[in-house]
Chain A
């Protein structure tokens, strides 16, 4: 099956620093990647949609200058949390959608990474 990895799986940083999270599709090409944020015992909230080679589309209320997204290739998207503060502490999850209508039993399916736990001190 299609595999999506995220790195790092866990990061602790000081307030004011920037943190980069990578999302990779390991065995397929993904024209579209999605970034989600999940608070404890809450649902996944979509932050932005990232298409390869173009600017990301951010959801309402998400600061694009705060959460920088780069989707430079069909297998890699990065999320950079700039000048992180404690309120940015959360679980960040990416997903990748298979190009075209491929995707095994569920065409167009999103495949999810295991998530990155960010703690800002």
Chain B
């Protein structure tokens, strides 16, 4: 079926550590891929996106590359900050749909000072 699977949390890191949150997807075709972030008490915000294979989305020091060979869109950041503590959701757009999104289960990230 069509789904998004992301790394189970929670993930706890120290400030300035390297971050990777894995995300893989299944889909027919080549859907757009997204990472959303949800800070405590707030709605989901789009962090970055990639619309085709080999595209790299980037924002606020985060990066993710659309890998069609491995059907993956892993989120990375070289040096995390306490303010990056949030829940991160990987998502893909449903191919042929009205921009409907299919989400992964979310990964809670906590950064300790």
- List chain A positions with a Cβ less than 8 A from chain B: 4, 32, 34, 41-46, 49, 57, 93, 95, 97, 106, 108-115
Main secondary structure of the interface of A (DSSP, over half): strand
Quote the shortest CB–CB distance from B62 to chain A (angstroms).
14
Contact B49 A49 (CB under 8 A): no
Quote the shortest CB–CB distance from A102 to chain B (angstroms).
14
Report chain B residues within 8 Å CB of A46: 100-102
**What CA separation (Å) do A85 and B109 show in the bound complex?**
33
Contact B43 A113 (CB under 8 A): yes
Contact B105 A42 (CB under 8 A): yes
Report chain B residues within 8 Å CB of A57: 98
Interface residue total, chain B, C-beta cutoff 8 A: 19
Task: Determine whether B69 belongs to the interface, using a CB cutoff of 8 Å to chain A.
Answer: no
Contact A112 B43 (CB under 8 A): yes
Shortest 10 CB-CB distances between A and B: which pairs?
A: A112-B43, A112-B44, A43-B103, A43-B105, A114-B43, A44-B103, A113-B43, A109-B46, A106-B46, A114-B42
Contact A112 B99 (CB under 8 A): no
Quote the shortest CB–CB distance from B6 to chain A (angstroms).
9
Task: Say yes or no: A114-B103 contact (C-beta < 8 A), given A44-B89, A106-B46, A106-B49.
Answer: no
Task: Determine whether B113 belongs to the interface, using a CB cutoff of 8 Å to chain A.
Answer: no
Quote the shortest CB–CB distance from B109 to chain A (angstroms).
14
Contact A43 B89 (CB under 8 A): yes
Contact A43 B101 (CB under 8 A): no
**What CA separation (Å) do A42 and B45 show in the bound complex?**
18
Contact A108 B43 (CB under 8 A): no
**What CA separation (Å) do A90 and B4 show in the bound complex?**
21
Contact A110 B43 (CB under 8 A): no
Task: Determine whether B41 belongs to the interface, using a CB cutoff of 8 Å to chain A.
Answer: yes
Partner of B99, one of A42, A43, A97: A97
**What CA separation (Å) do A44 and B36 show in the bound complex?**
12
Task: Say yes or no: A32-B46 contact (C-beta < 8 A), given A43-B103, A44-B89, A44-B103.
Answer: no
